[in-house]
Amino acid sequence: TQLLEQSPQFLSIQEGENLTVYCNSSSVFSSLQWYRQEPGEGPVLLVTVVTGGEVKKLKRLTFQFGDARKDSSLHITAAQTGDTGLYLCAGSRQGGSEKLVFGKGTKLTVNP
């Protein structure tokens, strides 16, 4: 069973549209990170959320950590073709070691 479930698995939208991707778990996490991965490259850290209910903004990207620290969402406003990529959420479990648990990712394609 996957500890972190991401949805949707695939998302194809037109440039200018808004979208939200989700990362859910039944476990509590000390923190959650969102990464973006391009083909043939390593994951690039976008943001870390630590406090339940926390909202962080990075230009057109808005990240939210659930109140119970079990889930998170990423919202992109006015998507651009450069947003295309694999979005991964990862977390360190509360009471666990520093290793990260990853979801399988949401593959986003933004069409011109």
Distance CA 19, CA 61 (A): 10
Residue count, binding to another protein (CB under 8 A):
26
Distance CA 61, CA 36 (A): 12
Under the binding rule (CB under 8 A), the answer on residue 1 touching another protein is: no
Under the binding rule (CB under 8 A), the answer on residue 98 touching another protein is: yes
DSSP label at 51? S
For 88, the enclosing helix (H) or strand (E) is strand 85-93
Which of 33, 53, 57, 112 binds another protein (CB under 8 A)? It is: 33
Under the binding rule (CB under 8 A), the answer on residue 42 touching another protein is: yes
Contact footprint for another protein (CB under 8 A): 2, 4, 30-31, 33, 35, 40-45, 48, 50, 88, 90, 92, 97-105
